[in-house]
Amino acid sequence: MRSLLGRSGRRPDITFYANGRIDISARLARCLTLSDGDCIDVGEDGGEYYVYVRHRYNTRLQFRYEAVAHPTKRRSHNFRAYSRRLCAAVLTLAGSDTKAALQAGEVLEDDCYGLVVPIIIARQMK
């Protein structure tokens, strides 16, 4: 028998596209306590990759950052950010040219970065 859903029925938590778009699920946004205007990043530590909030939005000090997350709709818990550099780096790690739809693990507390969530980057078969 062949499954119609494919290998995994689980929906991705974060998706990176070649045009620089990053879609963040509501589950991942809640894990990171993401709010409108926060800047996200992906870091590497010992072969593991983690997504975290690099800069929190501050109403008094407003600077321009890359990968700033905003809700997709007015009362939505899904977020979207844009960063061609970040997407290109993740797509290279995933071995894809167009799209990398990744699952995330459970939230962890880091001394330097605060809340971090591991993402599973498996090289995609072509």
Q: What is the pLDDT of residues 90-117, one digit of tens each?
A: 999 999 999 999 999 999 999 989 999 9
| 39 part of a folded domain | yes
Number of domains in the chain: 1
Is the CA virtual torsion 54, 57, 60, 61 positive or negative? positive
pTM of the full structure? 0.87
6 lies in some domain: no
**Strand runs labelled E in the chain:** 14-17, 21-24, 39-45, 48-55, 70-71, 79-82, 99-104, 108-110, 114-120
Copy the structure tokens of residue 100: 């990398």
Residue 113 lies in a domain: yes
Res 60: pLDDT:
67
- Judge whether 126 lies within some domain: no
* Residues 6 or more apart whose Cβ sits within 8 Å of residue 104: 13, 14, 27, 28, 31, 51, 117, 118, 119, 120
Residue numbers of the domain that contains 104: 14-120
The answer as to whether 42 is a domain residue is: yes
- Is residue 79, in this structure, part of any structural domain at all? yes
| Tens digits of residue pLDDT in 17-66 | 999 999 999 999 999 999 999 999 999 998 899 999 999 988 666 778 89
Query: Is the confidence at residue 89, as pLDDT, over 60?
Result: yes
* Bigger pLDDT: 52 vs 121: 52
Q: Is 71 inside any structural domain?
A: yes
Measuring CA to CA, which residue among 14, 70, 11 is closest to residue 42?
Answer: 14
Separation of alpha carbons 65 and 98, rounded Å:
24
Note the pLDDT of residue 78.
Answer: 96
Residue 80 has pLDDT above 60, yes or no: yes
